Each structure stands twice: as structure tokens, then as C-alpha cells.
Amino acid sequence: MPPRGPKSRAAIDYRTRVGQERRARTRSRIFAAALAVFAEKGPDAPVIDDFIKAAGVARGTFYNHFRTTEELLVATSKWLEDQLILSIEAEIGGLRDPVQRLAMGVRLWLQRSRKQPVLCAFIVRNRFRGRLVEQQLAGDIRAGRQSGRLSIPSVDVARDLVVGSIREAMSRMTYARVSRDYADDVARLILRGLGLDDKAIRQLLTIPLPMMRRPPVGEPPAATAAMRALARGSSGRRRSAGAAVR
């Protein structure tokens, strides 16, 4: 067989890239369909055929990406979180102070969760965190510790404090009404737990939050419709939950 020349390698690279892009589009299409299906039927009721029909893909295509509905639920949750952290990073990416980045990121995450109850409820249902979330959070905590501004026993302990507090706050926001200041109150306690004094915390919390311009999901039309559908179910659960937080 004659050796492959530059043109042959370029053709192979092109086909590989096109294949990867097609796979990514198909995966995003399944994610968007998953949001719609989970919105209609909840996280436990759907079967594989529901997602195949909603996504408009062949059975074999679906199984090339996911084997079970639980696997799809986990992957969709991680996908949403990664999209959310990208929308936050688009606003704070220019900040060099890791503590300011951390404070701003926590506040933006809680603000988005409060304004988008569907996204909030979906993430609360699953305990797995997205890869980008873990990378950005751990990086800011580590840098804040190295600067001497965060007083923490370890990055892992601080990470669990931040994630645990945010998750519980999101759970409350999913099933109950909260005050306008609730997100900042949670952020204040998180920052205090990381070793910041009250003066530093006040300074961080008085910084105006930017508008999050980047959409929080990768497929805005389909995903937004699905989120609105799930929001209607979430609002019903809120009303039945009863007491509001004042």
C-alpha cells in the first residue's frame, strides 16, 4: 500500500472532525429532548422509547450515546451545569482576584437558580457535578488559599462547604419561596465559612452583579421550551409545599 501523503491525512482529519461535530450535535439534540421528556414525565417515569421519539433519532443512535434513562439523567444534569458555569465564566472571566471570582460566581449561580426554577430543580435532583463546575470552583478556592485570604483546612473541605450550602439553598428555592436577599445571605455565610471577615464580605457583596448574557443551555429553543414546561410543574409543587421563607 502506498504511503499516505499530506492530502490523505488532511482528508482523514477532516472526516474525523466532521464526525466529532456530528456526534456532538446529536448528543445536544438528545439532551434537549431529555429536558422535554423529563419535564413532562418527571425523572423516574420515562422509558428509552420516549427519548428516541422526542429526539427523532434511531434506537442504535441513542444507544451509541446512552444505555439507560438514569445515565441520560446524570449526563443531562452535568451538561446543564457545564453550560451554567460557562455563562458565569463569560461574566467573571476577566477577574484576576480568586476570592472575588468565587464570591461573584456563588452569587451568580444562586441568582440564576432563583430566576430559573426548572434548571434549579433539575440540578437538585442529581448529586453529580459537572466537570467544569469542579474545575473552576477548585481552582478559585486553591488560589484563594494560596493568597492567604481564605482560611480553610483543605480545598476539598472548602469545596464541600460551598457545594453543600449551594445545593441545600437550591433545594429550598425549588420547593419554597425565598426572600429577595436569600441568595446574598447564603453567599455571606459561605464566605464567612471560608474565613473571610465581615468587612471583606460586605465589600464583596456590594459589587453589582453583571447581567448574564450567555444562554445557560446549549440548545436555547428546545431547552427553553422544556424548562418552561418543567417550571409549571415546579410552581405547582411550590404551592403545595406551603410555607414561604421570609
Instruction: Please list the rounded mean pLDDT of every run of 10 residues in the chain (246 residues).
Output: 61 72 86 76 81 91 91 83 82 90 94 79 68 87 96 96 94 88 95 97 93 54 47 45 39
Amino acid at 74: V
Domains of the chain: 69-241 (1.10.357.10)
pLDDT of residue 36: 72
Least Cα distance to 212 among 127, 146, 114 occurs for 114
Least Cα distance to 35 among 82, 75, 64, 88 occurs for 75
pLDDT of residue 243: 40
pLDDT of residue 241: 40
pLDDT of residue 219: 40
Least Cα distance to 35 among 21, 49, 55 occurs for 55
pLDDT of residue 233: 47
pLDDT of residue 231: 46
pLDDT of residue 187: 97
C-alpha dihedral sign at 209, 132, 174, 35: positive
User: What span, in angstroms and rounded, lies between the C-alpha atoms of 213 and 216?
Assistant: 9
Amino acid at 3: P
In contact, 114 and 182? CB cutoff 8 Å: yes
pLDDT of residue 14: 66
Question: H-type helices in the chain, by residue range?
Answer: 6-41, 48-55, 59-63, 69-92, 98-115, 117-124, 131-146, 155-175, 182-193, 198-205, 220-241
The CA angle 221-24-73, to the nearest 5 degrees, is 70
